[in-house]
């Protein structure tokens, strides 16, 4: 092929998607900074001009116009004349103090993703997981040393599990069950959402013993002291508390296939006859074509020794091998997949 042919071919292909991909992290950092500076909270009471937003958030006058207009271009703010207001998306999820606030999750991803992904090339060539400071979360969140940082880590997860809990509360016919256990339920946030939505349920959380003080503090603050029971232990060595329903959210993606099968066998033994298991993760489509799910899987390979996301079809095979039947799959929040199966 000649040089001329190369130029002709290049001219026929728009480089725009490549450029957008190259700078994709810039948009995410704009969001992270807006949350950190309190932009959406500053606009919670109504629109304001750039000077007013700058005064409320500490934005420098040189940076404010492009920053605020970029937020508007990303659909997070709305601009009318010289005044800015929260978009419906930001109003729903990014105003601090609201029940649907996801800012904690935004902050958590900012802290945990960038340092890890900065080591991607090293991981790709060595195969070694890129562990960061345990107090900054990631898959090594169970190794926290600082209780206050651990609380902050869980607070970021809670921001997401609030919405996840509401979706799961609606996705399952809970009237057929009387109890559930959330494996790896941390300080009990998802369990709290479920018992608020379905008060007839007896709720439990099974997690590492070191999590108990944070669980007690959090459920007491939510007014659910005594409504959700905590059992400390290890998934693979201690008995899983029996229940009609056992929930595994963001659990299986942390292990390799053999450990997943082992854990599902243990879960089957703990589910009461006629009960079911609920599994949610950012599962890969069976054709392995969804880039967002594949990026999530790559992230798990970055931060864990054996973890990754997995295909829905594979999970159904593992569930059947453990003894479960009638597995079904449905989308959850547009980002996850929920698979259920019956004992």
The residue from 64, 94, 124 where one domain ends is: 94
Are 230 and 207 a contacting pair, CB within 8 Å? yes
212 and 315 both lie in a single domain: yes
Domain, as residue range, for 285: 172-342
Contacts for 175 with CB less than 8 Å, ≥ 6 apart: 198, 200
Are 151 and 210 a contacting pair, CB within 8 Å? no
The residue from 94, 111, 145 where one domain ends is: 94
Give the Cα separation of 327 and 312 in Å (integer).
10
Which residue in 65, 274, 303, 53 sits closest to 173, CA to CA? 274
Local mean pLDDT, 10-residue blocks, the chain (343 residues): 55 86 92 97 96 96 96 97 97 88 84 86 90 47 57 66 88 95 92 94 94 90 91 95 96 96 98 97 94 93 91 97 97 93 97
Strand partners, 331: 337
Residue 313 falls inside a structural domain? yes
Other Cβ atoms less than 10 A from the Cβ of 62: the count is: 8
Residue 210 falls inside a structural domain? yes
Are 212 and 206 a contacting pair, CB within 8 Å? no
Estimate the share of the chain in helix, then strand, then coil, as percent rounded to the nearest 5: 50, 20, 30
Which residue in 145, 146, 167, 159 sits closest to 187, CA to CA? 159
Give the Cα separation of 317 and 330 in Å (integer).
16
Residue 123 falls inside a structural domain? no
60 and 201 both lie in a single domain: no
- Gyration radius from the chain CA atoms: 23
Residue 158 falls inside a structural domain? no
Give the per-residue pLDDT at 283: 97
pTM: 0.84
Question: Looking at the 3D structure of the chain, how many domains does it have?
Answer: 2
Residue 90 falls inside a structural domain? yes
Residue 14 falls inside a structural domain? no
Are 252 and 281 a contacting pair, CB within 8 Å? yes
Three-state DSSP state, 248: strand
Give the Cα separation of 187 and 216 in Å (integer).
7
Residue 154 falls inside a structural domain? no
178 and 302 both lie in a single domain: yes
CA angle, residues 297, 137, 131, in degrees to nearest 5: 65
85 and 185 both lie in a single domain: no
89 and 182 both lie in a single domain: no
For the annotated catalytic residues, the residue numbers are 253
Q: How deeply is 156 buried, as exposed, middle or buried, from its count of CB atoms within 10 A (0-12, 13-18, 19+)?
A: buried
Phi and psi at residue 233, in whole multiples of 5°?
170, -175
- Where helices occur in 94-133 by DSSP H, the ranges are 103-117, 120-126
The residue from 94, 116, 151 where one domain ends is: 94
């Amino acid at each position: 092929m000649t040089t001329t042919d190369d130029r002709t071919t290049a001219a026929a292909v728009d480089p725009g998607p490549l450029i957008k991909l190259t700078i994709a992290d810039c948009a995410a950092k704009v969001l992270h900074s807006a949350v950190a500076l309190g932009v959406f909270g500053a606009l919670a009471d109504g629109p304001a001009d750039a000077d007013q937003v700058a005064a409320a958030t500490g934005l420098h006058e040189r940076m404010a116009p492009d920053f605020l207009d970029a937020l508007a271009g990303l659909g997070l703010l709305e601009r009318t004349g010289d005044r800015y207001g929260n978009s419906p998306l930001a109003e729903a999820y990014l105003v601090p103090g609201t029940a649907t606030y996801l800012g904690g999750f935004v902050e958590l991803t900012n802290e945990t993703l960038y340092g890890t992904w900065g080591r991607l090339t090293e991981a790709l060539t060595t195969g070694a997981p890129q562990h960061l400071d345990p107090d900054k979360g990631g898959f090594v969140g169970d190794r926290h040393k600082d209780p206050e940082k651990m609380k902050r880590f869980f607070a970021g997860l809670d921001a997401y599990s609030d919405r996840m809990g509401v979706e799961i509360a609606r996705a399952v016919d809970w009237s057929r069950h009387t109890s559930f256990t959330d494996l790896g339920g941390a300080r009990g946030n998802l369990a709290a959402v479920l018992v608020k939505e379905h008060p007839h349920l007896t709720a439990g959380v099974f997690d590492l013993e070191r999590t108990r003080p944070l669980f007690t503090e959090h459920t007491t603050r939510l007014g659910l002291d005594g409504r959700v029971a905590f059992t400390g232990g290890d998934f693979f060595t201690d008995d899983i508390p029996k229940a009609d329903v056992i929930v595994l959210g963001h659990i299986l993606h942390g292990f390799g296939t053999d450990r997943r099968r082992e854990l599902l066998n243990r879960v089957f033994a703990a589910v009461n006859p006629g009960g079911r298991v609920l599994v949610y993760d950012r599962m890969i489509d069976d054709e392995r074509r969804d880039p967002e799910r594949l990026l999530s899987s790559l992230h798990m390979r970055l931060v864990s020794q054996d973890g990754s996301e997995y295909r829905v079809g594979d999970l159904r095979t593992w569930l059947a091998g453990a003894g479960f039947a009638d597995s079904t799959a449905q989308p959850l929040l547009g980002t996850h997949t929920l698979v259920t199966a019956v004992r």
